[in-house]
Amino acid sequence: MCTLVGQKAPQFTAEAVINGGEFVDDFSLTQYIGKKHVVFFFYPMDFTFVCPTEILAFQEKLAEFEKRNTVVVGCSVDSKFSHWAWLQTEKNKGGIMGVKFPLVADFAKTIADNYGVLAGEYDYNEQDESVFIGAPVAYRGLFLIDKNGIVRHQLVNDLPLGRNVDEAIRMVDALQFFEENGEVCPANWHKGDEGMKATSDGVAAYLSKTK
């Protein structure tokens, strides 16, 4: 696993399901470069347990991301047909009906691998047979990508640990605050709080206000 922060987000063209049920064969994040910030997140697998709680939580806060000119895109190693079926399944039956943001199909596992979140790897056993060691799914990785296509924030959780969507929104706010004001965001910063100048005098001035 590696960090992508400060680097260009790995690009891809893949099948996806958008708007809750439309197939797209050539979905790419490049469509957002120069236009929007992107929260690109991986989840292990459709029709599982923690995953729908996260996906539905992102959908519930989708308007908050849109207010910030930010798109949310999910991705797992499932096929587009699995995504579509899950999107057509009612919530009380374990589905995610009503989710509108894109779900990318990483059936070949290459996107997860390029982003460093594949929970295992291919190798050879003693019989020289190709085997997969680990779990052939993605960790719960999340990447905040700016308008230039640069990864500015990265978070990776192990499979049992669900993410906090409000924290993802906070990180979007922090990045946009920095971009707009040129000031950095101290610990526990939230939208509406003061930032500080990235100088020794700026730090001293900020800390003097917090005493």
Q: Do 38 and 120 sit in the same domain of this protein?
A: yes
Structure tokens at 29: 């994040």
Q: Do 69 and 79 sit in the same domain of this protein?
A: yes
Q: How far apart (Å, rounded) are the C-alpha atoms in residues 206 and 165?
A: 28
Phi, psi of 35 (to 5 degrees): -125, -45
Q: Do 207 and 106 sit in the same domain of this protein?
A: no
- Residue 156 maps to a domain: yes
Among this protein's residues, is 51 annotated catalytic?
yes
Number of domains in the chain: 2
Q: Do 133 and 169 sit in the same domain of this protein?
A: no
- Residue 147 maps to a domain: yes
Q: Do 191 and 155 sit in the same domain of this protein?
A: no
Q: Do 177 and 121 sit in the same domain of this protein?
A: no
Q: Do 23 and 115 sit in the same domain of this protein?
A: yes
Percentage of the chain lying above the pLDDT 70 cut: 99
- Residue 124 maps to a domain: yes
**181 lies in which domain range?**
164-211
- Residue 6 maps to a domain: no
- Residue 177 maps to a domain: yes
Mean pLDDT, rounded, for 103-116: 97
Q: Do 172 and 98 sit in the same domain of this protein?
A: no
Looking at residue 130, which CATH number applies to its domain?
A: 3.40.30.10
Q: What is the crossing angle of helices 50-60 and 165-181, to 10°?
A: 40
Q: Do 191 and 121 sit in the same domain of this protein?
A: no
Q: Do 116 and 196 sit in the same domain of this protein?
A: no
Amino acid at position 163, single letter: R
pLDDT digits (tens, 9 = 90+) for 116-135: 999 999 899 999 999 999 99
- Residue 64 maps to a domain: yes
Last residue of one domain, picked from the residues 123, 147, 162: 162
Catalytic residue, chosen from 2, 51, 75, 185, is 51
pLDDT digits (tens, 9 = 90+) for 51-106: 999 999 999 999 999 999 999 999 999 999 999 999 999 999 999 999 999 999 99
Amino acid at position 146, single letter: D
